[in-house]
Amino acid sequence: MSREFTKHIGALFTKLLILGCLTVWSAFALSSENESPGTELTDIERGRILYDKNCKYCHGKNGDGKGPVAFFLNIQPRDFRAPRNLTTGIFKFKSSSYNELFPFDRDLYETINQGLGGSAMPGLRSNASLEDIRGVIAYIKTFSEEWEEPSEGVDYSGQVVSSPESFTKGRELFLDHCAECHGGNLTGESTKELKDDWGRKIDPRDLSKPYDFRKGNTPQEIYTRVTAGIYGTPMQSFADPRNEKRLSNEERWHIANYVSSITTHTPPLSR
């Protein structure tokens, strides 16, 4: 059995175990809940109830990312108390511009609804309504001392349609810009020892495996990651002029088309 496969099955098992425990716990919490009928809940109140039921075991009662389950996890749950210092409140998966610290509500909605593949972060999916998720978003923002809504989004202009020519260009650019971390064959095997801003060892994603992606492997998602960067990790934005390997929109679309074409040919195991 390959190393990635074993790692994946291990992560899947832990996730299932934790989800199982949480489901049992939620069932108890639900039956003992005591909401007086007729009272209108505000978004934040609604969010707090849902958070205490579904999120605090990992993200902590006060949003510090240190819930009792966190100890068992390799990739740590996010600490929502942004931005007290560099290691709190860093959001990785956002479609706001590289110079924005915070995600849009739609990014948080996606994360909370769908979860993050290959990590312990579960999605609420059909277990929650739109209002519930809106509430929990409003509630997690209250942990931050100075939440600021982002104003600028990723610039998606200049999209290039997928084609064999685009894949060839994308492959060349990938070798120049990405292979140093992700490896020439996209498996993330390189000689680099990388650390994230929390001081933990971090492996670049294996881009040849759809189940290794936290978000998605469509050209649009890959373009978003490459353009916004992944905060708190060595993966910088390739739109940021401070990155000496900066790429144009068109070049980033070629790379996104190429990576997506490789990934979508590997059958998914989960998600």
Residues interacting with ligand HEC, by CB under 6 A?
18, 22, 54-55, 57-59, 69, 73, 75, 77-78, 91-94, 103, 108, 111-112, 116, 119-122, 124, 136, 140, 177-178, 180-182, 194, 202, 204-205, 207, 213-215, 222, 225-226, 230, 233-235, 238, 255, 259
Taking CA 168 as the corner, what is the angle to CA 243 and CA 237, rounded to the nearest 5 degrees? 20
Q: Among all chains, which residue has been given the structure tokens 């390189």?
A: 190
For ligand HEC, the closer CB: 154 or 207 = 207
For ligand HEC, the closer CB: 39 or 178 = 178
User: Which two structure tokens, joined as six digits, stand for 157?
Assistant: 């202009």
Nearest approach, Cβ of 134 to ligand HEC (angstroms)? 11
Nearest approach, Cβ of 240 to ligand HEC (angstroms)? 12
Nearest approach, Cβ of 38 to ligand HEC (angstroms)? 26
For ligand HEC, the closer CB: 36 or 130 = 130
Nearest approach, Cβ of 189 to ligand HEC (angstroms)? 12
CB proximity list for 58: less than 8 A, separation 6 or greater = 65, 67, 69, 70, 73, 77, 120, 121
- Do the beta carbons of residue 205 and residue 182 sit within 8 Å? yes
- The CB density around residue 269, as the number of other CB atoms within 10 Å, is 14
CA distances to 60, 81, 122, 124, 233 from 65, rounded to whole Å, are: 5, 9, 15, 18, 17
CB proximity list for 49: less than 8 A, separation 6 or greater = 33, 35, 41
CB proximity list for 103: less than 8 A, separation 6 or greater = 91, 93, 94, 95, 96, 111, 150
Nearest approach, Cβ of 24 to ligand HEC (angstroms)? 13
For ligand HEC, the closer CB: 146 or 200 = 200
For ligand HEC, the closer CB: 79 or 146 = 79
For ligand HEC, the closer CB: 140 or 164 = 140
Nearest approach, Cβ of 223 to ligand HEC (angstroms)? 9
